[in-house]
């Protein structure tokens, strides 16, 4: 086994460090790799997930509920862990429905959003009794037809495409022309249609963007969302019982990113909540978060299999790569490639440094985990750790590309 460097440090990016080795869940990497039986692997730290949820609870108003968007990390063990910590699950596929229903989360606290739901997916969701966030008028018609065939009154919420977006977000998912939701100006008509067709109206889902790091922008979008929901509620066939105001809480992926000021988001929401309580007295108000809950609690770990110099540059070649952690390579929606936080996981706190480029084992120059980074000098057999890998890691990566083995996943 690779030795841990003898260095003192208590934690690094929230993870324990034991004798210079990162220790997700309290187990130093060499031993963790030995017990998993392979590298590469993803390790998610349950304590860090729980602490993040505790921080959300203490900063958000007490009557704001927190849902987990399963697509951020659908590992069943993670979803099971979160079932006891969050107020609901948000799904984006029937596959995620299976995972959610295997947990202790009651069906009435599960909702299903996403464009292009097939009749099969809708039938399964209706049979399960979860809320379907309808993305179009045609989808509403399908839901009503399938509900009638099954003699069930499907629970529906309307996903609204607002006429604003989350300023500065990494991914805009509302405002302008979008494939998501029903345009706000068409929602009153859709609500009347729901009333005439016996659907069990639950409320609204208004999602304006992802990966926001500016508390003011998030707060602004939340305020507009609450106002829009109150306005639309006047056309609803019944009381609004749920208002999902979206999420968009981002995490700092790069050195240049400042973490989101959660206290400021909480204060902003506390200022807007009285309007929501008064205008929508029967509604549960919820945010839906993915990466903010799990993203920073996960690491991707691979092993150095070769080290070489090429015309003055040092390359560390690992058994991992973009087929497992696409986002860290810069090929998942980034315009400009920047390095994720990366360390040599068994040499934390070591004083000696070198500049090295960390690559994966794929035959493509795109397969980059860190470019010209300042790292502890590493040897073959050492561990490379990519942080911020708890969300959109394994399931957002092209694992079949080049037919290498799949990475392991553990919750520790
Ligand atoms: C993907 C998605 C989320 C989660 O986004 P994060 O950026 O991971 O918080 C939440 N809601 C909807 C509708 C989504 O599509």
End-to-end Cα, the chain, rounded Å: 20
Residue 373 inside a domain? The answer is yes
Confidence (pLDDT) at 176: 86
| Residues 389 and 410 sit within 8 Å (Cβ to Cβ) | no
Question: Are residue 282 and residue 199 in the same domain, yes or no?
Answer: yes
List, in order, residues 6 or more apart from 134 with CB less than 8 Å away.
140, 143, 156, 157, 158, 159, 182, 190
Peptide bond into 268 cis (omega under 30): no
Q: Which of 289, 319, 341 is the last residue of a domain?
A: 289
Residue 51 inside a domain? The answer is no
Q: For the packed helices 137-150 and 187-196, what is the interaxial angle rounded to 10 degrees?
A: 10
Confidence (pLDDT) at 368: 97
CB atoms within 10 A of CB 150: 12
Sign of dihedral through CA atoms 93, 125, 200, 194?
A: positive
pLDDT tens profile 56-111: 999 999 999 999 999 999 999 999 999 999 999 999 999 999 999 999 999 999 99
Measured from the Cα of 71, ligand 1's closest atom is: 1
Question: Are residue 339 and residue 193 in the same domain, yes or no?
Answer: no
Question: Are residue 343 and residue 256 in the same domain, yes or no?
Answer: no
Per the structure, the count of domains in the chain is 2
Confidence (pLDDT) at 292: 98
Mean pLDDT of 141-169: 94
| Residues 107 and 128 sit within 8 Å (Cβ to Cβ) | yes
**Range with lowest mean pLDDT among 134-143, 170-179, 309-318, 392-401:** 170-179
Q: Is the pLDDT score of 7 beyond 70?
A: no
Question: Which DSSP symbol is given to 305?
Answer: E
How far is Cα 105 from Cα 92, in angstroms, rounded to an integer? 16
Q: Which of 289, 320, 340 is the last residue of a domain?
A: 289
Question: Are residue 329 and residue 259 in the same domain, yes or no?
Answer: no
Confidence (pLDDT) at 8: 47
pLDDT tens profile 214-270: 999 999 999 999 999 999 999 999 999 999 999 999 999 999 999 999 999 999 999
Question: Are residue 312 and residue 226 in the same domain, yes or no?
Answer: no
| Residues 320 and 299 sit within 8 Å (Cβ to Cβ) | no
Residue 171 inside a domain? The answer is yes
Question: Are residue 122 and residue 266 in the same domain, yes or no?
Answer: yes
* Helix spans in 63-186 (H): 76-83, 94-101, 119-128, 137-150
CATH of the domain at 239: 3.20.20.10
CA of 200 to the centre of ligand 1 (A): 25
Confidence (pLDDT) at 6: 55
Question: Are residue 200 and residue 280 in the same domain, yes or no?
Answer: yes
Question: Are residue 210 and residue 102 in the same domain, yes or no?
Answer: yes
* Helix spans in 45-136 (H): 46-59, 76-83, 94-101, 119-128
Measured from the Cα of 391, ligand 1's closest atom is: 8
Q: Scan for tokens 């057999």, then name that residue.
A: 381
Quick one: 64 exposed, middle or buried, by C-beta within 10 A (0-12, 13-18, 19+)? buried
Mean pLDDT of 368-397: 98
Tokens standing for residue 236: 């609803």
Question: Are residue 78 and residue 203 in the same domain, yes or no?
Answer: yes
Question: Are residue 280 and residue 209 in the same domain, yes or no?
Answer: yes
Q: Is the pLDDT score of 165 beyond 60?
A: yes
Confidence (pLDDT) at 289: 98
Residue 263 inside a domain? The answer is yes
pLDDT tens profile 31-43: 999 999 999 999 9
Quick one: 358 exposed, middle or buried, by C-beta within 10 A (0-12, 13-18, 19+)? buried
- pLDDT bin (cut points 50, 70, 90) of residue 1 is low
How far is Cα 298 from Cα 390, in angstroms, rounded to an integer? 4
Confidence (pLDDT) at 2: 67
Confidence (pLDDT) at 270: 98
CA of 154 to the centre of ligand 1 (A): 23
How far is Cα 87 from Cα 288, in angstroms, rounded to an integer? 10
Residue 54 inside a domain? The answer is no
Pairing of strands 242-244, 284-289: parallel
- Percent of the chain residues past pLDDT 70, beyond the cut: 98
pLDDT averaged over every residue in the chain: 96
CB-ligand 1 contact for 291 (6 Å cutoff): yes
CB-ligand 1 contact for 207 (6 Å cutoff): yes
CB-ligand 1 contact for 211 (6 Å cutoff): yes
Q: Scan for tokens 């509900």, then name that residue.
A: 147
| Residues 123 and 100 sit within 8 Å (Cβ to Cβ) | no
Beta bridge partners of 254: none
| Residues 378 and 356 sit within 8 Å (Cβ to Cβ) | yes
Question: Are residue 284 and residue 314 in the same domain, yes or no?
Answer: no
Mean pLDDT of 144-150: 98
Q: Whose CA is nearest to atom 2 of ligand 1?
A: 69
Question: Are residue 128 and residue 274 in the same domain, yes or no?
Answer: yes
How far is Cα 248 from Cα 22, in angstroms, rounded to an integer? 29
Q: Which of 180, 205, 262, 288 to mutate to test the pocket of ligand 1 (most atoms within 8 A of CB)?
A: 288
Q: Is the pLDDT score of 409 beyond 60?
A: yes
Helix, strand, coil abundance in the chain, percent, nearest 5: 35, 25, 40
Residue 156 inside a domain? The answer is yes
How far is Cα 55 from Cα 59, in angstroms, rounded to an integer? 6
CATH of the domain at 324: 2.40.37.10
Confidence (pTM): 0.96
Range 311-329 burial, b when 16+ CB lie within 10 A, else e: eeebebbbbbbbbbbbbbb
Which residue range forms the structural domain that includes residue 350? 11-45+298-411
Q: Which of 65, 71, 175 to mutate to test the pocket of ligand 1 (most atoms within 8 A of CB)?
A: 71
| Residues 173 and 207 sit within 8 Å (Cβ to Cβ) | yes
- pLDDT bin (cut points 50, 70, 90) of residue 170 is confident
CA of 71 to the centre of ligand 1 (A): 7
């Amino acid at each position: 086994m690779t030795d841990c460097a003898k260095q003192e440090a208590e934690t690094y990016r929230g993870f324990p460090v034991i004798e210079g080795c990162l220790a997700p869940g309290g187990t130093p990497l060499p031993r963790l790799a030995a017990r998993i039986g392979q590298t590469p692997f993803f390790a998610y730290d349950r304590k860090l997930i729980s602490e993040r949820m505790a921080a959300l609870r203490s900063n958000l108003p007490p009557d704001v509920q927190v849902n987990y968007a399963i697509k951020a990390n659908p590992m069943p063990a993670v979803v099971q862990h979160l079932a006891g910590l969050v107020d609901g699950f948000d799904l984006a596929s029937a596959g995620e429905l299976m995972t959610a229903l295997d947990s202790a989360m009651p069906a009435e606290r599960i909702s299903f959003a996403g464009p292009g739901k097939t009749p099969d997916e809708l039938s399964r969701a209706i049979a399960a009794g979860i809320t379907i966030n309808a993305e179009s008028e045609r989808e509403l018609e399908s839901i009503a037809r399938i509900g009638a065939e099954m003699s069930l009154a499907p629970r529906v919420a309307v996903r609204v495409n607002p006429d604003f977006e989350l300023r500065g977000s990494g991914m805009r998912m509302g405002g302008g022309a979008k494939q998501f939701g029903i345009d706000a100006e068409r929602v009153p008509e859709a609500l009347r249609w729901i009333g005439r067709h016996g659907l069990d109206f639950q409320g609204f889902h208004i999602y304006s963007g992802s990966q926001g790091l500016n508390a003011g922008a998030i707060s602004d979008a939340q305020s507009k969302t609450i106002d829009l929901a109150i306005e639309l509620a006047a056309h609803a066939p019944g009381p609004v019982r749920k208002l999902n105001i979206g999420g968009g809480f981002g995490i700092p992926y790069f050195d240049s990113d400042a973490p989101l000021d959660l206290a400021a988001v909480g204060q902003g929401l506390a200022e807007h909540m009285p309007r929501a309580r008064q205008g929508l007295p029967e509604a549960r108000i919820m945010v839906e978060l993915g990466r903010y809950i799990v993203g920073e609690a996960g690491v991707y770990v691979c092993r150095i299999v070769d080290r070489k110099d090429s015309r003055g540059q040092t390359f560390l070649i690992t058994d991992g790569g973009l087929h497992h952690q696409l986002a860290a390579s810069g090929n998942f929606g980034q315009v400009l490639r920047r390095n994720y936080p990366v360390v040599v996981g068994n040499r934390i706190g070591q004083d000696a440094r070198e500049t090295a480029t960390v690559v994966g084992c794929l035959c493509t120059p795109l397969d980059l985990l860190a470019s010209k980074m300042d790292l502890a000098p590493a040897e073959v057999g050492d561990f490379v750790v990519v942080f911020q890998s708890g969300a959109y890691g394994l399931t957002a990566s092209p694992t079949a590309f080049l037919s290498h083995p799949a990475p392991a996943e553990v919750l520790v």
